[in-house]
Amino acid sequence: MENKAKIITVAGKGGVGKTSICACIVRLLTEMFPDRKILAIDADPAVGLSVALGVDVKLTLDDIRMSIVDSVENGETREALELLSEARFRIFDALVEMPGFAFLAIGRPESSGCYCKVNSYLKEVIGLLASSFDFVVIDGEAGIEQIQRRVMEKVTHLLLITDQSKKGGQVISTIKSVADELIAYERVGAIINRVTNPELVKLMVVPGVEILADIPADAAFAENDIKGGSILELPEDSMMLRGVREALQKMEIL
């Protein structure tokens, strides 16, 4: 089945504001397209996207996976098969409906009791679920392998996030190289976040990746964050929102 969704995966070095930018994407999509179906997937074990979007997560995909794995390890094969067939329905229990979007948390990385049939099945179910949405926004770990292994192998837009450091640039360059081998994507671009010196931005070059926007260190964002506010509470003129909007326009998403 051809997936009609625009699937936007956000990746980059840890600690560069990746999750906040991902939350901004969800907010901008819900504001611009109130009649479209939007799914936010938190594929980072830290489950930071739920906090950034003000979502209360009670069940993750990993919780479902572990209940099946436990049954297999306890020798309850029949129950495991029944759980596997029910996993599709249980995913809807993990889906949190918010105003303007739905939310799904993947949970912690695969650990003991890695049961490949469950993992591949759940990934297939995520793919089926995603085909019911117009936009899917995925916040991943600091890499792309985990997205490919646990969520989906095809994305339409790959958005790489870095700060104004050489290390950050090297990380997204590596992610791009790995993505070229592992996943199919249509568009790729980068955002440089927390810029304190615009002159340094001009020195940053990532081969094969267009720099879509550079976002200055944002006092309004910092204040909102310290007060415990979600991205949905950021003021409209926030530099973070402005920069993400510019990037999405250049990627022809908005």
Q: Where are the domains of the chain?
A: 6-250
Tokens found for residue 45: 């074990």
Using CA atoms in the order 55, 59, 60, 65, what is the torsion angle rounded to 10 degrees? -170
Q: Contact, 94 vs 63, CB < 8 A? A: yes
**pLDDT of amino acid 67:** 80
**pLDDT of amino acid 1:** 37
**pLDDT of amino acid 2:** 47
CATH no. for 6-250: 3.40.50.300
| Residues facing 162 on adjacent strands | 192
Tokens found for residue 152: 């989906």
**pLDDT of amino acid 148:** 77
Tell me the residue type at 155: V
**pLDDT of amino acid 108:** 74
Q: Between β-strands 157-162 and 96-98, what pairing exists: parallel, antiparallel or unpaired?
A: unpaired
Tokens found for residue 64: 């479902």
Tokens found for residue 115: 């049961």
Question: In 10 A of CB 2, how many CB atoms?
Answer: 4
Q: What is the 3-state secondary structure (H, E, C) of the chain?
A: CCCCCEEEEEEECCCCCHHHHHHHHHHHHHHHCCCCCEEEEECCCCCHHHHHCCCCCCCCHHHHHHHHHHHHHCCCHHHHHHHHHHHHHHHHHHCEEECCEEEEECCCCCCCCCCHHHHHHHHHHHHHHHCCCCEEEEECCCCCHHHHHHCCCECCEEEEEECCCHHHHHHHHHHHHHHHHHCECCEEEEEEEEECCHHHHCCCCECCEEEEEEEECCHHHHHHHHCCCCHHHCCCCCHHHHHHHHHHHHCCCC
pLDDT tens digits, one per residue of 222-241: 888 888 889 999 999 899 99
Q: Which residues of the chain have pLDDT under 70?
A: 1-3, 77-81, 83-84, 109-117, 142
